[in-house]
Homo-oligomer: A and B are copies of this chain.
Amino acid sequence: MPDVFEKLAKIFKDFPGIGPRQARRFVYHLLGRSESQLKEFSDLVGELKKLVKTCSLCCRFHSSGAAVCAICRDKGRDRSTLLVISKDSDLSAIEQSGVYKGLYFVLGGTVPILEKEPERKIRIRELLAQILERVKKDKLREIIISMNVNPEGENTASYLRSRLEKLVKEHSLKLAAPGRGLSTGLELEYSDPETIKNALERRSGV
């Protein structure tokens, strides 16, 4: 099979969740597109990093052209709260819920268990600098650490808490975590003890 074919299949094989077979089907799919469709695709990929930048404040990807993203510039957002998430798609999910009106910070990763150099896995220095700046400029009062509820997420949260401890104390910040309990779709019968414990301890009147 052609060289360019195999090179493209190899690139697609690195896409998240894609095996060698589907990677090849992607190339066949491209071969079935028109010249102009392929040109558009090629151009978008080529321009992606020129058009999409990392926001200099929250570190999320954005393409507003400015150094700072639309959320960070939005005067209507509550600047006293900072929600720390692992990745852009977490931010997307939370924005879609419409319930959070504060600011964000995207870590750009998680800290694996037993990781020796956590500062190479996440933007910890940028986070510390950002918190300091927000405290001065925006009277930041609360930081919500919102990680996935799995061992790596909890390890990341634990690392963040230890690194933020001094800053939080010095500036009397509140450090918070999203409430644990029963999430939508959960069936009691299949719940783990931890979730049941959280749900019963945090029960509320109805």
Footprint of B on A, CB under 8 Å? 1-5, 7-8, 11, 14-17, 22, 24-31, 35, 38-49, 51-52, 61-64, 85-90, 92-94, 96-100, 144-150, 157, 161, 174-206
Residue of B nearest to A85 (CB): B188
Instruction: Indicate whether A177 sits within 8 Å of B203 (C-beta atoms), given known contacts A42-B45, A63-B5, A99-B193.
Output: yes
Instruction: Indicate whether A16 sits within 8 Å of B8 (C-beta atoms), given known contacts A38-B49, A175-B206, A179-B204.
Output: no
Residue among B38, B148, B200 making CB contact with A45, cutoff 8 Å: B38
**Which residues of B sit under 8 angstroms from A43, Cβ to Cβ?**
42
**Which residues of B sit under 8 angstroms from A144, Cβ to Cβ?**
200, 203
CA A184 – CA B187 in complex, angstroms?
Answer: 12
Q: How many copies of the polypeptide does the oligomer hold?
A: 4
| A203 pairs with B178, CB closer than 8 A | yes
CA A52 – CA B29 in complex, angstroms?
Answer: 13
Q: How far is the CB of A165 from chain B (nearest CB, A)?
A: 11
Given A2-B61, A14-B29, A148-B188; 6 other pairs, CB 8 A cutoff: A16-B29, A24-B92, A99-B200, A183-B192, A183-B195, A184-B192
